[in-house]
Amino acid sequence: MVKTTYAALIAVIVLVGFFILSNIILVFTATTSSLFLAFGIPVFVGATTSMGFFYVFTHEETFPFATVIEKRQKEAEKRWLKVLPHAGKLASVIMLGVVGGPLLAAFSAQFLIPHYERRYEVLALVGALSGILIAAVARGLFGGIASLLELFSA
């Protein structure tokens, strides 16, 4: 029988909540008519969750569930770092964060730039860029599908 710890349960709840929130924001971004909300909400949520996850990862004694999340993200980071061997630590954090999202950005920042004095600003920028990328893809992809459906239904 598998022994479930309190920290593992909290980690699962946090991750599931984050992924559900991400999907809700993706659908909202694709369907809203307001460009300000379509880009503003993913930028704000991306920046705040990047900094929030980084804070949790750097305070593991306060948040014991962070070690469970960290173990899960370590494989993803190793896979991406093989692709970016010569980019530099800061550039790697930025690229990983934009492509991989706030969770991977926070973990990469903790691993690659733990003593950089502007790491929270970097994570806010990375989260914002990731939000813009997600919003642009969602608007373009779902907007194109909606246009095709309109074309064929007319």
On whether the CB atoms of residues 28 and 140 are closer than 8 A, the answer is no
pLDDT tens for 16-63 read 888 899 889 988 888 888 888 888 999 999 898 888 888 877 776 656
C-alpha 85: how far from its chain's center? 21
Report the amino acid identity of residue 32: T
Cα separations in angstroms, 77 against 53, 73, 99: 15, 6, 11
What pLDDT, on the 0 to 100 scale, is given for residue 1? 46
| The pLDDT value given to residue 73 | 67
Res 100: pLDDT: 85
Q: Which has the higher per-residue pLDDT, 128 or 70?
A: 128
Cβ pair 52, 63 in contact under 8 A: no
Can you tell me the distance from the alpha carbon of 94 to that of 27, in angstroms, rounded to the nearest whole number? 25
CA distances from 29 to 5, 37, 151 (A): 36, 7, 22
Q: Are 42 and 132 in contact (CB under 8 A)?
A: yes
Region of 101 on the Ramachandran plot (φ > 0 left; ψ -120 to 50 alpha; else beta): left
Q: What are phi and psi of 102, to 5 degrees?
A: -65, -35
Domain assignments of the chain as residue spans, ordered by start: 6-153
CA–CA separation, 111 and 106 (whole Å): 9
* pTM: predicted TM-score of the whole model, two decimal places: 0.68
Residue 102's pLDDT is 86
Name the nearest CA neighbour of 46 among 117, 120, 101.
101
